[in-house]
Amino acid sequence: MNGILAIALISVRNAIRSKIVMVLLAFLLITLIGLPLTLQGDGTLPGHVRVLIRYTLGLATLILSIATVWASCAAISTEIRDRQIQLVVSKPVRASQIWLGKWLGLMAINVLFLMLCFVSTYAALRGTTTPDRWSDTEIEQLHTEILVAQYKLAPQPRDVREEVQRQYRAARARGEWPEEIPTQEVLPRIERALRTQANSVPAGSSNRWVFNVPHPPPDDRPLILRYRFSLSVMDLDPVSGSWTIGSLQASHRQVETFEQPPRTWHSVAISPDRIEDDGTLTVEFANHADRTVTVIFQPDEGLHLMVYAGGFLMNYFRAGLLILFHLSFLAAVGVTAGAYFSIPVAAMTSFYALLLINAARFIGRIAEGTASGGHGHAHGPHGGWFQDAIHLTSHLVHRGLYAVIRPLESANPLDYLVVGEWIPWTEVGYMFGVKVVLYSGILMVLGAWHMARKEVALPS
Amino acid sequence: MTPSPPQTATTIAEARDLVKVFRDFWHRPKVRAVNDITFEVKRGEVFGLLGPNGSGKSTTIKMMLGLLHPTSGYLRVLDRSPDDVKTKARVGYLAEESYLYPYLTSEETLHFFGRLFNLNAKQREERIDQLLDMIGLQHARRRVVGEFSKGMARRIGLAQALINDPDLIILDEPTSGLDPLGCRQVKDLIRALARRGKTVLLSSHLLADVEDICDRIAILYNGRIQAMGSMHELLEQRNRYRVTLPEELAPDQLQRVLDEIRSVLGAEPDIDHPRLDLEEFFLRIIEKARNEVESQSGATPSHTLASYLSAPPS
């Protein structure tokens, strides 16, 4: 343990002495001080807070990520280059201890700077949302919609399975889909169309959704209906409509009329007494547009209910933990790459690995695409065994790659914060397990295994 | 590696048929740096690897430290593999260059290496104090190593090699970069360590250093051992003799002795006056100057061995 701590301390000193890391950290300070003073947002208080959190913490996280990758790549490779590693390796220290010491040192720096980022952003948040600058209504809206932790509920899905089958049979009978297009490609398309239709409201009509609210918010805190819609025409003019919330009995109904533009988020605060005894909440949207325009709520993300679950600070802390776990993974990638390669090669390798991880969904889609192509279901003519072999290889490579990087996929924690969405502890625990324990652990084994076999005193 | 009989109790390190081939990027053999060498280092001796640059001395030492891996052959240090952390815990190593962290002070450097040996804070404090006294850098304990002259850095390097009270001390070119005074101090230190029962393995291409301090040597050239044995065995010319006469011999007595030799040999013997070697002469001058001038610069060693550097159990 003594040895690990000694190496961690050296790792901290090395990182602090790196000019590139220092330049990046200077950018970090400029970001933390300069951005809160210059950001304007959309003129509303929620807009200001969203921009402040997303830009300040987003940029700070990006800078910390780059600094972490660089410093971690340099952690072992510079010592190999400058040969100090020879004195360390000749001491009774295992390769895993060297790896762990380097990683812990970098993590100590990350914890320090991440705390600085989060504390200063929070201070800026408090300092720029004072009653002398914003109205009481806006401040109240901020504290009910953004500076809280709310869990997100989607409306009950409509069962469209029978309708999908019916439309499929009808479409086949009409010959709308050529025979060579397989059923498994046609059915999802029909289902998507039906779901979009179920979330659409033509002019002059209305549509209804039902939410199950298992745990009503405490202390009569309001529920927030968040929505974003698009239009059936290429138009950004506001649309007039109304929300009717609660049971159909007049005494329990809450009616909100509005005229709002499409493609932007809107919200309605709902009193918790609108929830029925069976835990359901019904909302109905009426399209009052005086022109032929259909309002479309995106089936997955266009409409949801936010229910209070806890305070903002703990959610903010959980977001910090998620970022820290990501940085710990980056540090592990860099330290391991630095054990194998010189700094430039290690840095390139690390950034390439991060690029792949960020492109996980794209790679997943390629894997799906090559699956159908590789098994001879392509729409075009067959290309023979050679093309099939290429398809199969591509499919296997992408599928294998996707299987490796998929567990690392995670939503940006700042996306949760800017909408006041609850970050579940399960997500925090999962990311700790995956990024810190599993993947960093695997990288440690790979790095230490290589270091134990590496000849650190080869003539240059 | 080929199997070999176990080391005897007095053998500290053993190499048999040791080979090291450096390969290029494509794994093709490039240089055969060590070529089938066999030697033993015995407990308590000062063993020297002597040879010109590129003869394989440093490569052999680095294999004994686990910094390089033998291509073939048998190598054991302190009855274990050189890679074993238990071996490393009993070995002290001074590299051919100091390879220290330039931004650490002398004290921090020694604390760092002390921690790698898992020494507690009290042990480290005591040993660092004694070591800095011993190498004469007590006054520079808070100066960063990056500012040091090469000689001062070598002294810190030597101190870190001794911080764990090692049984085997491996010194790669220990006097490299030191002035004659420093060379003598290091050589005296090595002898003192040997008297305490420590085993020292050193490499050097400076013949005088090796001759002064080594009990046994191996001369390497082109990766092979060309000669090996005790200094006495290797340097003694058994078919020639030297007669030393008392200093107070009177001229007429000397004349009679010479006449006698001439009558016995029937030839004229070679006669000259003994000379100091240059190192000895230099040290005498410096010692005299030191006694005259109080202020000194650079290292001021205490001339005493750190007391914790104990004799290993026999």
Residues B9-66: tens digit of each pLDDT: 589 999 999 999 999 888 888 889 999 999 999 999 999 999 888 899 999 999 999 9
The residue with greater pLDDT, B167 or B304, is: B167
- The separation between CA B58 and the C-alpha centre of its own chain, rounded to angstroms, equals 13
pLDDT averaged per 10 residues in sequence order, chain A, 460 residues: 90 81 85 80 84 91 92 92 94 96 95 93 90 88 90 88 87 78 83 87 91 86 91 85 81 82 89 87 90 85 90 96 96 96 94 88 78 49 74 86 88 92 95 97 97 90
- Strands A280-287, A229-231: pairing is unpaired
- Of the candidates B62, B100, B117, the beta carbon closest to that of A457 is on B62
Chain A residues within 8 A of B86 when measuring between CB atoms: 92
For residue A82, give how far its alpha carbon lies from the nearest alpha carbon of chain B (Å). Answer: 7
Q: Does residue B115 sit at the A interface (CB-CB below 8 Å)?
A: yes
Helix (H) or strand (E) segment spanning residue B164: none
Q: What is the DSSP string of A326-393?
A: HHHHHHHHHHHHHHHS-HHHHHHHHHHHHHHHHTHHHHHHHHHHHHHHHTT--SS---HHHHHHHHHH
- Tell me how far apart the alpha carbons of residues B17 and A272 are, in angstroms, rounded to a whole number: 86
Q: Is the pLDDT of residue B283 over 80?
A: no
* CA dist A152 → A1, A138, A225, A305, A414 (Å): 44, 22, 10, 6, 15
Cross-chain residue pair A91–B86, CB shorter than 8 Å: no
Give domain limits for chain A: 2-147+312-453, 153-311
Query: Quick check: B95 and B157 in contact, CB under 8 A?
Result: yes
Residues of A in contact with B88 (CB under 8 A): 90-93
B3 with B74: CB under 8 angstroms?
Answer: yes
> A86–B89: do the CB atoms touch at under 8 Å?
no
Distance (Å) from the alpha carbon of B115 to chain A's nearest alpha carbon = 5
User: Touching check for B66 and chain A: CB below 8 Å?
Assistant: yes
Per-residue pLDDT tens for B103-148?
A: 899 999 999 999 999 999 999 999 999 999 999 899 999 999 999 9
Interface of A with B in 64-83 (CB under 8 A): 82-83
Q: Provide the 8-state DSSP code for A176.
A: -
Q: At what angle do helices A360-374 and A343-358 cross, to 10 degrees?
A: 70
Q: In what order do the strands lie in the sheet with B29-42?
A: B29-42, B11-23, B72-77
CA torsion angle A364 A70 A333 A54 (round to 10): -50
Given CB atoms, is B68 within the 8 Å cutoff of chain A?
yes
B22 to A459: CB separation less than 8 angstroms, yes or no: yes
Is the sign of the CA dihedral A286, A291, A292, A298 positive or negative?
negative
CB pairs under 8 A between A and B: 76
Give the C-alpha separation, A441 to A230, whole Å: 45
Residue A383 forms contact with B (CB below 8 Å)? no
Residue-level pLDDT at B236: 79
Contacts of A5 in chain B (CB under 8 A): 115
Chain A residues near residue B89 by CB distance under 8 angstroms: 92
Distance, CA of A193 to CA of A255 (rounded, Å)? 30
Residue B51 belongs to domain spanning: 11-235
Q: Which residues of A touch B100 (CB under 8 A)?
A: 84, 87
**CA of A89: which chain B residue's CA is closest?**
B67
As a whole number, mean pLDDT of residues B293-305 equals: 61
Kindly list the residues from chain B whose CB atom is less than 8 angstroms away from the CB atom of residue A455. 67-69
Contacts of B210 (CB under 8 A, 6+ apart): B48, B50, B202, B204, B217
What pLDDT score was predicted for residue B240?
Answer: 81
Closest chain B residue to the Cα of A452, Cα to Cα:
B83
Listed in sequence order, the residues at least 6 apart from A139 whose beta carbon sits closer than 8 Å to its beta carbon are: A45, A129, A131
Nearest-CA residue of chain A relative to B22? A458
B158 contacts in chain A (CB < 8 Å):
none
What values do phi and psi take at A124, rounded to 5? Answer: -65, -40
For B71, nearest residue in chain A (alpha carbons) = A455
Does residue B84 carry a pLDDT above 60?
yes
The CATH number of the domain holding residue B138 is 3.40.50.300
Residues 18-47 of A with CB under 8 A from B: none
Whether A92 sits inside 8 A of B103 (CB atoms) is: no
The confidence score (pLDDT) of residue B301 equals: 67
Q: Measured between CB atoms, does A94 come within 8 Å of chain B?
A: yes
Pick the residue with more confidence: A39 or B165?
Answer: B165
Which residues on neighbouring strands pair with residue B229, listed in sequence order?
Answer: B217
The string of pLDDT tens digits covering residues A204-216 is 999 999 999 988 8
Render pLDDT for A355-395 as a digit per residue (tens, 0 to 9): 988 888 888 888 777 665 544 444 445 567 888 888 888 88
Please tell me the total number of residues recorded for chain B in this structure.
Answer: 314
Contacts for A442-446: CB closer than 8 Å, 24+ residues apart: A443/A332, A443/A333, A443/A335, A443/A336, A444/A96, A444/A99, A444/A100, A444/A103, A444/A332, A444/A336, A445/A96, A446/A336
CA distance A352 to A375: 30
**Residue A434: what pLDDT?**
96
> In this complex, do A2 and B95 lie within 8 Å of one another by their Cβ atoms?
no
Q: Min CA distance, A64 vs chain B (Å)?
A: 24
Which residue of B64, B68, B101 to mutate against A (max A Cβ within 10 Å)? B101
Question: Closest to B67 (Cβ–Cβ): which among A2, A6, A457?
Answer: A457
B112/A6 touch (CB, cutoff 8 Å), yes or no: yes
Q: What is the pLDDT of residue A255?
A: 85
- Candidates A360, A321, A399, A304; CA nearest to A110 is A321
A-chain residues within 8 Å CB-CB of B70?
Answer: none
Mutate to test the interface with B, among A91, A342, A458, A460 (most CBs of B within 10 A): A91
> Is residue B160 over pLDDT 60?
yes
Report the domain count for chain B: 1
CATH 2.40.30 fits A153-311, yes or no: no
Chain B: residue whose CA lies nearest to A82: B99
Q: Which of B22, B101, B160 sits opposite A10 (nearest CB)?
A: B101
- Band (pLDDT 50/70/90 cuts) for residue B303 is low
Phi-psi region of B245 (alpha: psi -120 to 50; beta: other; left: phi over 0): beta
